[in-house]
Chains A and B, each alone.
Chain A
Amino acid sequence: MTPAGVHHAAPGARPAPVTAQVTGPARGWLRLAWLYLVSRRAPAALALLAGFGALLWAALHWHWNVAGGAAAAIVIPLVTESGAAAVIAVTTYGPFGEPERATGRWLPWLRLGAAVVLTAAAIGVLAAGATGGDLPGGFVAMARNVAGLTGTGLLAAAALGGMLAWTGPMAYLVLTESALAAGLTTPWVWPARPPLDRGGAICAYAVFAAGLALVTARGVRESVRDT
């Protein structure tokens, strides 16, 4: 006899709690999404995003500045935005690997949904943090930067794996600071562009879209070194 043939509970076994029973497709969907988010540590990620929002608020409220030129002027908001993007990128790391891919029919949609929801949450908490003072570039620039940086994180997740996805925003941050110090004004260095600059926005959102598409369709890379 296999477990599939068991139709009755063993004597003395406790019945399953009523609240855990799935009563409809919507509830099932919600439960699936919740389990996925928990497996990706999304609640902890939201707490960290809130922390970055608080950090941005404190930096703007108490005027934390780094002396210098264009590179230094935006370094604190950019570090905060990069931190938020790195946290989102790291949530793509999944602990289940092959079994999950083999059985998770809705996995691509869950990956897409989680990335979009967390990016929106990051923009939301950083917008709240921006109420602490005068954010360089305002909301539009911040949303563009977060989207683009998250895109670099998702691309890094696809290339290096979820465990190292944070290297994307980090590397982009270092490159941006170096490019700004050298006076480069290419739209690929979008944090240096004005808030309503079309080229910068196209580049940032294109990177975000590319990252989303790659992570949705292919998932993140799994490495043998992910030990």
Chain B
Amino acid sequence: MTVTSLTARPAPAPAPRVAPRNLARLLWVELRHNAMPLVLPLIAVLFWFDSYRIAATLPPLWVVRLYYILGQGHALIDFAPFVAGVAAWMGSRDGRRGMGDLVTATVRPRWEAQLATWAATAIWAVGAYLVVMAVTLALLGRSVAWGGPPWWPVAADAVGIAAFASLGFTLGACFPSRFIAPMAAFGGLFAMAISSQTGFSASGGWALILPTMSNGNFGQDAGIFYQWLPDLPIDRVIFAAGVAVAAAGLLGLRPAAGGLRLRHCAAVVTVTGAAASVAAVVLAFTAQLGPYGVVIPALHDAASDRPVRYTPACGHAGIPVCLQPAYRPYLPDVTAALRPLIGEVAGLPGAPVRASQVAAVFAGGPGVQIGPASVGQILTLSGSPPALYMPLGAMALPNSFGADTAGFIDQIKVEAVHTLVTSGGAYGNPAQQAVEAALLQKAGIPPADQPSAMSTTPWPLMGGGPRSAAKYPPAIAAAARRFAALPTATRHAWLAAHLAALRAGHLTLAQLP
């Protein structure tokens, strides 16, 4: 009998693949014994006090309400330090207990077991963040009339929390001590404080990668007139994911982590994560500020530039007044502001025949005019027949920045009168100021209240002291009183004859009636 004549025996049945199931069981054990759930109630209370409580008082627009939570990164500030601290505690577990040698000798590679603990910690943290954000968005959205929240910034913060969990865990695993948890937590808080400081002051470049950086990328009328640009949040996701992966990979580089093959694999993971983070920072340097936010050419999708379709919400204030439906709650305020003024100027050559809201944008661009260069985005009068264009998103809405409804209405009145009497954003000559003061009086702002009403506009009265305590020069005040005291028909007739010359700045104070 030769070897070739032997009947082949059937190959033995392959051993059942139990590794994935065992890993799942290990993950389940780690999830059940994780310390993260203990601090989640505390994080929820902090989030409510620091983020939700303030956001809930802001105007009912997604972009405004989420500016504090997502734009300025308070969600991450509330979560990240605690997540980093608890993750460090979990990462230091074996080292603190002096069980390093014991667990290294087990059948499962050390890195694999640590990844299970890391994954359980990250799942608790990110899961809690998503639940908290879901509840927050549901509660905040109850009073928002139109639109939806931005999802990419939510995702960026979620991945950021995973990155803090990863960094904390690796720190704990490398320096096991009871003090590593508070050190990691305070390191996280210190990092977020520095991030906030830089985010407030920086305008671009690498600082765009910071989660607390809102300049030029979160605000204005994003998600209302134009889409939320996902470029920067995607870049932040890449950065945070790279940090998370690199930190997790570092755990596998240690000699006790496993065999040579596994450590090579860990090295590849670490390098990949680090490369992703570096690439994200490089991409941030290529960012450009466009009308609708930060554009990163390599990540930009042209479909994001399409304007948002909507059916305007319209009212009547002597002329049709139409707003973007997200601003529907402010329609009564806008019509109340314009009605008395339109009553004064209706029928005049150059007076508006309709009023429409326009988008407040981040910067000028092709086909997008940002307004007079000296004063930024204000109410403007243009077109034929003339129309009043109102970038309400650039104004202080009621309940934001200390503004109230009366201040908001006064601000619209002042800007509307100013654009009617003074073309562009110029301060106005004495004759223009006098007519403006008289029209404001007729529109419902008494002379005594005008300094205060004008204090938040680009044209405050100058008096050397507080803006709200300034006064008109006596000559202008006297001319304004005279003009306001004219019978309505006389004033209307004079404006019909002289409004064009007045707007052009060709009249002097002495030429007023």
Chain A residues with CB under 8 Å of chain B are: 41, 44-45, 48, 66-68, 72, 75, 79, 82-83, 86-87, 89-91, 93, 160-164, 166-167, 170-171, 173-175, 178, 182, 223-227
Distance, CA A163 to CA B200, complexed state (A): 35
Enumerate chain B residues within 8 angstroms of A174, measured Cβ to Cβ. Answer: 46, 50, 77-78, 81, 189
**Do residues B85 and A170 form an inter-chain contact, with CB atoms below 8 A?**
yes
Distance, CA A160 to CA B45, complexed state (A): 15
**Do residues A86 and B189 form an inter-chain contact, with CB atoms below 8 A?**
no
Distance, CA A227 to CA B82, complexed state (A): 18
Q: A44-B177, A86-B185, A178-B50 are in contact. List 13 more A-B contacts (CB 8 A).
A: A44-B179, A67-B197, A67-B201, A75-B193, A79-B190, A87-B179, A87-B182, A163-B181, A167-B85, A170-B85, A173-B189, A178-B49, A227-B33
**Do residues B50 and A175 form an inter-chain contact, with CB atoms below 8 A?**
yes
The answer, yes or no, to whether B35 is at the interface (CB within 8 Å) is: yes
Selected from A66, A89, A162, A226, the residue in CB contact (under 8 A) with B197 is A66
The answer, yes or no, to whether B89 is at the interface (CB within 8 Å) is: yes
B54, closest chain A residue (CB):
A182
Distance, CA A87 to CA B100, complexed state (A): 25
A160, closest chain B residue (CB):
B38
Map CB proximity to A onto B44-60 as digits: 1 under 8 Å, 0 otherwise.
01100110001000000
Query: In angstroms, how far is the closest chain A Cβ from the Cβ of B161?
Result: 15
B81, closest chain A residue (CB):
A170
Map CB proximity to A onto B23-39 as digits: 1 under 8 Å, 0 otherwise.
00000000001110111
**Do residues B38 and A223 form an inter-chain contact, with CB atoms below 8 A?**
yes
Query: In angstroms, how far is the closest chain B Cβ from the Cβ of A152?
Result: 11
Map CB proximity to A onto B178-200 as digits: 1 under 8 Å, 0 otherwise.
11011101100110010011001
Selected from A66, A79, A93, A175, the residue in CB contact (under 8 A) with B178 is A93
> Given contacts A86-B185, A163-B178, is CB(A226)–CB(B35) below 8 Å?
yes
Interface residues in B302-327 by Cβ distance below 8 A to A read none
Selected from A45, A86, A225, the residue in CB contact (under 8 A) with B34 is A225
Enumerate chain A residues within 8 angstroms of B183, measured Cβ to Cβ. Answer: 48
Enumerate chain B residues within 8 angstroms of A227, measured Cβ to Cβ. Answer: 33, 35, 93
B33, closest chain A residue (CB):
A227
Distance, CA A5 to CA B200, complexed state (A): 74
Query: In angstroms, how far is the closest chain A Cβ from the Cβ of B96?
Result: 9
Query: In angstroms, how far is the closest chain A Cβ from the Cβ of B199?
Result: 11
Enumerate chain B residues within 8 angstroms of A48, measured Cβ to Cβ. Answer: 179, 183
Distance, CA A87 to CA B183, complexed state (A): 9
**Do residues A82 and B186 form an inter-chain contact, with CB atoms below 8 A?**
yes
Distance, CA A162 to CA B146, complexed state (A): 48
The answer, yes or no, to whether B478 is at the interface (CB within 8 Å) is: no
Enumerate chain B residues within 8 angstroms of A91, measured Cβ to Cβ. Answer: 178
The answer, yes or no, to whether B103 is at the interface (CB within 8 Å) is: no
**Do residues B179 and A164 form an inter-chain contact, with CB atoms below 8 A?**
no
Selected from B33, B39, B86, B186, the residue in CB contact (under 8 A) with A86 is B186
Query: In angstroms, how far is the closest chain A Cβ from the Cβ of B106?
Result: 16
Enumerate chain B residues within 8 angstroms of A166, measured Cβ to Cβ. Answer: 85, 181-182, 185
**Do residues A160 and B39 form an inter-chain contact, with CB atoms below 8 A?**
yes
Nearest 5 pairs of A and B residues by beta carbon: A166-B182, A86-B182, A178-B50, A225-B35, A83-B186
A/B interface sample: 6 pairs, CB < 8 A: A67-B200, A67-B201, A72-B197, A86-B186, A161-B38, A227-B35
The answer, yes or no, to whether B42 is at the interface (CB within 8 Å) is: yes
B interface, size bucket: 35 or more
Greatest chain A CB density within 10 A among B34, B50, B86, B186 is at B186
Query: In angstroms, how far is the closest chain B Cβ from the Cβ of A146?
Result: 15
**Do residues B49 and A90 form an inter-chain contact, with CB atoms below 8 A?**
no
Distance, CA A162 to CA B182, complexed state (A): 11
Enumerate chain B residues within 8 angstroms of A182, measured Cβ to Cβ. Answer: 54
Distance, CA A91 to CA B370, complexed state (A): 58
**Do residues B179 and A167 form an inter-chain contact, with CB atoms below 8 A?**
no
Enumerate chain B residues within 8 angstroms of A41, measured Cβ to Cβ. Answer: 177-179
B35, closest chain A residue (CB):
A225
Enumerate chain B residues within 8 angstroms of A178, measured Cβ to Cβ. Answer: 49-50, 54
Distance, CA A68 to CA B211, complexed state (A): 19
A153, closest chain B residue (CB):
B182
Enumerate chain B residues within 8 angstroms of A72, measured Cβ to Cβ. Answer: 197
**Do residues A83 and B182 form an inter-chain contact, with CB atoms below 8 A?**
yes
Query: In angstroms, how far is the closest chain B Cβ from the Cβ of A80?
Result: 9
Enumerate chain B residues within 8 angstroms of A171, measured Cβ to Cβ. Answer: 42, 45-46
Distance, CA A75 to CA B178, complexed state (A): 25
Selected from B38, B178, B189, B197, the residue in CB contact (under 8 A) with A225 is B38
> Given contacts A66-B197, A67-B200, A167-B85, is CB(A90)–CB(B178) below 8 Å?
yes
Enumerate chain A residues within 8 angstroms of B77, measured Cβ to Cβ. Answer: 174
Enumerate chain A residues within 8 angstroms of B177, measured Cβ to Cβ. Answer: 41, 44
Query: In angstroms, how far is the closest chain A Cβ from the Cβ of B504?
Result: 44
Selected from B33, B34, B49, B193, the residue in CB contact (under 8 A) with A66 is B193
Query: In angstroms, how far is the closest chain B Cβ from the Cβ of A154?
Result: 14
A168, closest chain B residue (CB):
B42
Enumerate chain B residues within 8 angstroms of A160, measured Cβ to Cβ. Answer: 38-39, 42
A66, closest chain B residue (CB):
B197
B187, closest chain A residue (CB):
A83
Selected from A162, A175, A225, the residue in CB contact (under 8 A) with B33 is A225
> Given contacts A66-B197, A67-B200, A227-B33, is CB(A170)–CB(B179) below 8 Å?
no
B37, closest chain A residue (CB):
A225
A45, closest chain B residue (CB):
B179
Enumerate chain A residues within 8 angstroms of B33, measured Cβ to Cβ. Answer: 224-225, 227
Enumerate chain A residues within 8 angstroms of B46, measured Cβ to Cβ. Answer: 171, 174-175
Enumerate chain B residues within 8 angstroms of A66, measured Cβ to Cβ. Answer: 193, 196-197
Enumerate chain A residues within 8 angstroms of B45, measured Cβ to Cβ. Answer: 171
B194, closest chain A residue (CB):
A66
Distance, CA A86 to CA B54, complexed state (A): 27
Enumerate chain B residues within 8 angstroms of A90, measured Cβ to Cβ. Answer: 178-179, 181-182
Enumerate chain A residues within 8 angstroms of B189, measured Cβ to Cβ. Answer: 79, 170, 173-174
Distance, CA A18 to CA B238, complexed state (A): 64
Enumerate chain A residues within 8 angstroms of B178, measured Cβ to Cβ. Answer: 41, 90-91, 93, 162-163
Enumerate chain B residues within 8 angstroms of A79, measured Cβ to Cβ. Answer: 186, 189-190, 193
Enumerate chain B residues within 8 angstroms of A44, measured Cβ to Cβ. Answer: 177, 179
**Do residues A170 and B185 form an inter-chain contact, with CB atoms below 8 A?**
yes
Query: In angstroms, how far is the closest chain B Cβ from the Cβ of A208?
Result: 18
Greatest chain B CB density within 10 A among A79, A163, A174, A225 is at A174
Query: In angstroms, how far is the closest chain A Cβ from the Cβ of B276?
Result: 30
Query: In angstroms, how far is the closest chain A Cβ from the Cβ of B168?
Result: 12
